[in-house]
Amino acid sequence: MHEIWIVTDLEGDDAVADIVALARANRVPIEYVARKRLDTAARSEAPQGVLARAGELPEAELGHLLRRRPGHVPFLVAVDQVTDPGNFGAILRSCEGAGVDGVIVPRHRAVHVTPTVAKAAAGAVEYLPIAVVPGLPAALARMREQGIWVVGLDDASDHTLFDLDRLADDAVCLVLGAEGAGLSRLVAERCDMVVSIPMRGRVSSLNVSAAAALATYEVRRHRLNNG
């Protein structure tokens, strides 16, 4: 952490007292600035008067995420063509909460970590490894070669998320497609199994971030019950 900006309106305010105390305890400089200056630098919607300047997040290595460790098999999520930063941030938040080991995103035609993504992720970007790959189909093929099950989510599938059974206990990567377009053809072809989330109401599908939350916690439920 390089420094923290706080708008002058909040100087001495109890709402930021904990932030100020933590910054001082860790010797992070605090600067009080005009709200317009902070809002311009934040580059996100509705900044709340506090901005932290920090170093860039390191990218994770795909090979590191694919490694098996004693007593633990990889639990990964890949994101295909998701371009909305709010959705991506919410996906990262759910993945971190469900104990996903890492997220894989393609370098092109996808959103990466931005201020808006970081805000929607509510801190998850600081803890969740994210690997950026040249192409998602090739990355998924590499996973399959290393014995990782690749499971895509698509509304049109006859199989449901509840059909994962013991497959969820093994090394697995869930693949989430963009809203509307779903999984791209090449990505779908690299999946070992494609499942849908059963919808019992009149709405035909869920937001991709809601689907991510349900799918990741279904895998976690299997692992807890069978672990």
Please answer whether residues 217 and 98 qualify as being in contact, where contact means their C-beta atoms are separated by less than 8 angstroms.
yes
pLDDT the model gives residue 223: 85
- What are the phi and psi torsion angles at 154 (to 5°)? -150, 135
Q: What percent of the chain has pLDDT over 70?
A: 98
Cα 177 to Cα 133: distance, rounded to the nearest angstrom = 16
Residues 170-205 as b or e (16 or more Cβ within 10 Å = b): ebbbbbbbbbeebbbeebbebbeebbbbeeeeeeee
Q: Virtual CA dihedral for 225, 169, 197, 82, nearest 10 degrees?
A: 130
Please answer whether residues 158 and 133 qualify as being in contact, where contact means their C-beta atoms are separated by less than 8 angstroms.
no
pLDDT the model gives residue 175: 96
**Ramachandran class of 109: left when φ > 0, alpha when ψ lies in -120 to 50, beta otherwise:** left
- Count the residues in the chain: 227
Strand partners, 150: 173
Q: pLDDT by residue (tens digit) across 35-69?
A: 989 988 887 667 788 888 877 788 899 999 999 88
Angle subtended by helix axes 208-226 and 85-98, to nearest 10: 10
Q: pLDDT by residue (tens digit) across 71-85?
A: 889 999 999 989 899
pTM: 0.84
pLDDT the model gives residue 41: 85
pLDDT the model gives residue 34: 92
What number of other Cβ atoms are within 10 A of residue 31's Cβ? 13
Cα 146 to Cα 2: distance, rounded to the nearest angstrom = 40
pLDDT the model gives residue 29: 93
Structural domain boundaries of the chain?
A: 3-53, 62-226
* Domain 62-226 superfamily per CATH: SPOUT methyltransferase, trefoil knot domain (3.40.1280.10)
